[in-house]
Amino acid sequence: MTPGDATLLYELRVQLKAVDPPVWRLLQVRWDTTLHHLHEVLQVAMGWTNSHLYLFHVGDTVYGEPSSEWDTIVRDSTRAKLETIFSESGGSFLYEYDLGDSWMHAITLEGTLDVKGEEMARCTGGARACPPEDCGGPPGYEHVLEAISDPHHQEHGAMLDWVGGGFEPEEFDVQAADSALSRLA
Secondary-structure breakdown of the chain: helix, strand, coil percentages, each rounded to the nearest 5: 30, 30, 40
pLDDT of res. 119: 83
Query: Residue 2 domain-assigned?
Result: no
> Is the domain of 78 the same as that of 155?
no
> Is the domain of 54 the same as that of 137?
no
Domain of 59 in residue numbering reads as 7-127+172-184
- Pick the range with the lowest mean pLDDT from 17-21, 86-90, 119-123, 133-137: 86-90
Query: Residue 22 domain-assigned?
Result: yes
pLDDT interval class at 129 (50, 70, 90): very high
We report the CATH number of the domain holding residue 72 as: 3.10.290.30
State the total domains in the chain.
Answer: 2
131's CB contacts (< 8 A; 6+ apart) are 16, 19, 23, 103, 141, 144
> Is the domain of 18 the same as that of 36?
yes
Q: 55-103, pLDDT tens digit by residue?
A: 999 999 999 987 777 667 899 999 999 999 998 778 999 999 999 999 9
3-state secondary structure 33-86: CEHHHHHHHHHHHHCCCCCCCEEEEECCEEEECCCCCCCCCCEECCCCEHHHHH
The structure's pTM equals 0.93
